[in-house]
Structure formats: C-alpha cells, structure tokens
C-alpha cells in the first residue's frame, strides 16, 4: 500500500475543557508533522479519541465512542484507530486486551509522541519505510517536528481556554485526578502570557483560565505562593474582552485574588467554585477543609468585593455516610445561597480512591432521589436569579443565530461561561444582526426570564462592536 496524498486525521475529544486544550495542542503537533485535519470521520485515514477517565459515566462514554468509531475501518477510510487521554493513562495495562479494535494507546504524558507514533504505525501498516511514507504523503521529516509549536483551536474563534496548570495536590477522597494527572504543575507565567498574546492576536475575545485547581496556580513554582492575582493583572493589560476564571478551588480564594478580580478591567465578576457539600461531617470525609459556616463567610466576602458576582458551583449527593440530615442541610443551603449556576453529581466510587472503600455506601435509589430533589431546588434558585436581572443592561458577546428561538441571536455576558451556563437570547430586531457580527459585543436590556435563560432586546442606538466597551 502506498500513500500519494496527505493523510487525514479525525480527532474526537471527550470530557472537560482541559482535555479540549490537550487536543488543540496535539492537533497543532499533528499538523506541523504533515498530517491533514478533517472534521469528517469517514474521510479520515487516522481516527484519534482523546478519552475521559474521571467517573464511571465518562469512562463508559469514551469506550462506547471508541467502539463506534472502530466501525469506520469497514465503513470509511480509517486505517488506524488511536486512543489517548485520561482513560488510557488510568487503565493502560487493561485496555488493550479489552479493546483490540484500537491500534495505538497513548497516555496524558505522551501527547507529544503522537505524530511520530502514528507515522511509525502507518509505516508498519503499509509495509513501507517511514521516510518513504512521509515523503509520499508530503510530510516533513520526523526530526523537524519534535515539538508541539502550534495549537488548533476547537472553540469558536472568539473564545479560547488557557490551561495555567496541570494536575492537583488537594487529594479529595473521592477524586482520581491526582492518580491520573499527578500533583500540581504550574506553567511558567511568561509562557502563559506569551500564549495569551498569541490568542489575542488571533482575535480571541474571551479567555477562560482553567486547571484542575486554578487558585493553586504558582504554589509549586520557585516563588512558592499563589500567583493567580499576578497572572490576572498581567493578562488584564492585553485587552481581552473578558477574562474568565474557572475551576477555582474555594479554599484558595482570598482577599488578594478578589481584589485583583475587582481591580482588573477585563476580569469577569464570575467564579466557578466547586463546593461539593456543606455538611461538616461529609466535607471531612471528602478531605475538604471547609464547613458551612466558612463557606457562607466566603460567599459574603466574595460579594463584598464583587457585589454583582455570578457564582457557579457543583454539589455531590450520595457520598458515603451522607445522612438525611446532611442532605437536608445541603438543600437548605442551596435554597438560601443565591447561586446563579450549579451542577449536581451522584457520587461515583472510583477505584484507588479512599472514598471507594468507605463504609456506609449510599444506595443508588437514594442517590437518584437526592439528585432530583437538589436539582429542583437549584433550578428554582437559578430562575429567581434570572428574574432579578430583568430590566438590567448587559454587554453581551454575540455567538450565533438561535435554532431554538427563531428571530433571536444566542449571546452571553460576563456572568455566563461557555457551554455550562444559561444563554441570553437577543431579539434580532428588523434583521439587523447577521452572522458577520458573531464574536461582536452588543449592549442589550434583559426583557424577560425563561428558566436559566434571559430574553433581551438591543438597547436604543446600540450597535455591535468588535471590542467590549465595558471591559
């Protein structure tokens, strides 16, 4: 078999935004190494799945996706199926025997090896020498593409993620991330600023900072202290439309960070802080160091610095030993805390974590009931927060014409993160908004609330702008 055209790769990403960034850098390396990139899996000679291995549902979804794409070896042009990411890192010894359909396995510490490993596998598959194969496919010699200098954005062109650190050192008793990704490893500040500058030049309006624990950023660097406030102040100088902070571990939120968020012109008044629970007994078993009183004090402090702050969190129900009294305390907190956005997870026992072997495991039917109860309370609370915004003027980022609400554009303000929060539907009065204005800013007035979403109209005389005038 010989290749006379560029070899195309289809890349499928499972899981979180942190995985997405890994895929973007991997794709940059693949393109630099001479591979073509395609969004059509049926046109790809190589298919790669960047898997998620966080919880059972995510693991099963990744496995099902691998099996689904394996069919392309018969139905499409696929010659090789590769798996990388967290699931591989976690189960690299077991998976090859369980999934013989997959030809190549690479963990989270092997993304940089992906181009060379794929070329070698293709050479073996075709029976050709590596150099001859690369030449036929129009690729660069392997020695010229050892690094990953480029990044292929998988987000809309106006939004991007900046991964500021890898791994986590918190060791929550339910979490397998430290086993998969290792302890905290912060990226050098200068490197982050250079990457952010490149993204700004590329036209990115919204930069979202991510890590397993963003508030820990810098603790492992020579300064041995949190450097997130300094990073925010430096990024603020670059002039993005919005800087958004995600995955902010609550115990790392202090007055220095809040002051930076208040003072920086482009930093969103938005915090994603995974609380998990409020019962002191449950939090102790989770190896978390807060309790309800300290959490409530934290929320009060946040609102002192950022009175208009939008708060997102995640809660876990059914953790081992969670009693009805613990759950009722969580329900009470959720009803009173005035949270804007919240996700709820049913506890999933993960092997090699302390919680998996704890006594008093909660039955699945009780987990499901508590999930439904808490979700309903949080939905009511979120709807009340949206109702309180009716009549407010907001600067929004226009994303796309809505398919769900004809005659409206989908948009977000500083109070809504991509993918996970509600939307603002902006009425397209007289058809003035067009697809050319996607990624522009527009001042609108919230006219009505619909659950987690808002309906809005452009303010009188307002025109879409390429820069956030409120930033």
Question: Would you say 48 and 80 are in contact if contact means Cβ atoms under 8 Å apart?
Answer: no
The residues near 292 (Cβ < 8 Å, ≥ 6 apart) are 278, 279, 280, 329, 333
Could you give phi then psi for residue 57, rounded to 5 degrees?
-60, -40
133 pLDDT band, cuts 50/70/90, is low
Please give the Cα distance from 48 to 50 (Å, whole number). 7
Residue closest to 19 by CA, chosen among 166, 135, 229? 166
Is it true that 159-388 and 393-458 share their CATH fold? no
* Mean pLDDT confidence for 360-382: 95
The reported pTM is 0.90
Report the top-level CATH class of 393-458: mainly beta
Q: Is the pLDDT of residue 468 over 80?
A: no
* Burial classification of residue 340, based on how many CB atoms lie within 10 Å of its CB (0-12 exposed, 13-18 middle, 19 or more buried): buried
Average pLDDT over residues 40-60: 90
pLDDT at 138 over 80: no
Q: What is the DSSP letter of 139?
A: P
Question: Domain limits of the chain?
Answer: 8-144, 159-388, 393-458
Per-residue pLDDT of 30-47, as tens digits, reads 988 888 899 999 999 999
Q: Token pair for residue 49?
A: 């799945």
Mapped onto helix, strand or coil, the DSSP state of residue 34 is coil
Say which CATH superfamily domain 159-388 falls into: tm_1862 like domain (3.80.30.20)
Task: Provide mean pLDDT across the span 270-288.
Answer: 96
Q: What is the spatial distance between Cα 446 and Cα 412, in angstroms, rounded to a whole number?
A: 12
What is the average pLDDT across 369-392?
Answer: 93
Q: What is the pLDDT of residues 145-168, one digit of tens each?
A: 444 358 999 999 999 999 999 999
One-character DSSP codes across 272-292: E---B---HHHHHHTT----H
Mean pLDDT, residues 63-69 taken together: 93
pLDDT at 143 over 60: no
The correct answer on CATH 3.40.50.12160 for the domain covering 8-144 is yes
3-state helix, strand, coil in the chain (%, to 5): 40, 20, 40
Q: Which long-range contacts (CB under 8 A, 24 or more apart) does 223-226 make?
A: 226/252, 226/254, 226/256, 226/257
Q: Is the pLDDT of residue 298 over 80?
A: yes
pLDDT of 214-262, one tens digit each?
999 999 998 888 899 999 999 999 999 999 999 999 999 999 999 999 9
Provide the angle, in degrees to the nearest 10, between the axes of the packed helices 228-236 and 189-201: 30
Confidence of residue 1 (pLDDT cuts 50, 70, 90): very low
> Of 138-142, 351-355, 432-436, which range is least confident?
138-142
d(CA 165, CA 247): 11
| CA distance linking residue 141 with residue 170, whole number of Å | 42
Mean pLDDT of the chain: 90
Rounded to whole angstroms, how far apart are CA atoms 401 and 194?
33
Reference 390, options 436, 456, 439, 346; nearest CA is 456
pLDDT at residue 148 in the model:
37
φ/ψ of 444, rounded to 5, equals -130, 165
**CA 471, CA 458: separation in Å to the nearest integer?**
18
- Please state, in angstroms and rounded to a whole number, the distance separating the CA atoms of residues 452 and 316: 21
Q: What is the pLDDT of residue 144?
A: 43
């Amino acid at each position: 078999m010989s290749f006379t055209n560029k070899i195309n790769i289809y890349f499928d990403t499972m899981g979180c935004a942190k995985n997405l960034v890994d895929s973007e850098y991997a794709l940059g390396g693949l393109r630099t190494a001479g591979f073509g990139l395609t969004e059509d899996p049926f046109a790809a000679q190589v298919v790669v799945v960047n898997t998620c291995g966080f919880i059972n549902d995510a693991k099963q979804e990744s496995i099902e996706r691998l099996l689904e794409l394996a069919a392309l070896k018969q139905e499409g042009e696929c010659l090789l199926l590769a798996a990388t990411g967290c699931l591989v890192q976690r189960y690299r010894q077991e998976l090859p025997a369980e999934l013989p359909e997959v030809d190549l396995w690479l963990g989270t510490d092997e993304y940089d090896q992906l181009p060379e490993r794929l070329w070698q596998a293709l050479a073996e598959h075709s029976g050709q020498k590596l150099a001859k194969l690369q030449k036929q496919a129009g690729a660069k010699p392997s020695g010229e593409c050892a690094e990953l200098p480029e990044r292929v954005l998988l987000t809309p062109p106006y939004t991007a993620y900046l991964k500021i650190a890898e791994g986590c050192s918190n060791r929550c008793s339910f979490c397998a991330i430290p086993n998969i990704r290792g302890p905290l490893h912060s990226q050098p500040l200068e490197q982050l600023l250079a990457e952010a500058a490149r993204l700004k030049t590329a036209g990115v309006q919204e930069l979202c900072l991510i890590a397993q624990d963003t508030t820990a950023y810098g603790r492992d660097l020579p300064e041995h202290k949190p450097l997130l406030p300094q990073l925010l102040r430096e990024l603020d100088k670059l002039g993005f439309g919005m800087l958004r902070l995600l995955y902010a571990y609550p115990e790392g939120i202090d007055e220095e960070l809040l002051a930076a968020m208040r003072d920086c012109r482009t930093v969103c008044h938005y915090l994603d802080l995974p609380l998990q629970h409020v019962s002191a007994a449950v939090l102790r078993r989770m190896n978390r160091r807060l309790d309800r009183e300290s959490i409530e004090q934290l929320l009060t402090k946040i609102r002192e610095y950022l009175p208009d702050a939008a708060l997102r969190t995640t809660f876990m129900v059914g953790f081992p030993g969670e009693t009805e009294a613990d759950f009722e305390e969580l329900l009470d907190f959720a009803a009173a805390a005035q949270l804007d956005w919240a996700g709820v997870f049913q506890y999933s026992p993960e092997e090699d974590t302390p919680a998996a072997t704890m006594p008093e495991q909660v039955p699945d039917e009780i987990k499901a009931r508590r999930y439904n109860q808490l979700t309903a309370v949080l939905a009511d609370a979120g709807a009340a927060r949206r109702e309180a915004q009716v009549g407010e003027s907001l600067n929004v980022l226009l994303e796309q014409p809505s398919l769900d609400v004809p005659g409206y554009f989908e948009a977000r303000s500083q109070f809504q993160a991509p993918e996970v929060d509600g939307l603002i539907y902006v009425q397209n009065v007289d058809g003035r908004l067009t697809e050319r204005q996607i990624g522009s800013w527009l001042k609108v007035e919230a006219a009505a609330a619909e659950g987690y979403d808002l309906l809005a109209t452009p303010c009188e005389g307002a025109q879409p702008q390429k820069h956030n005038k409120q930033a």
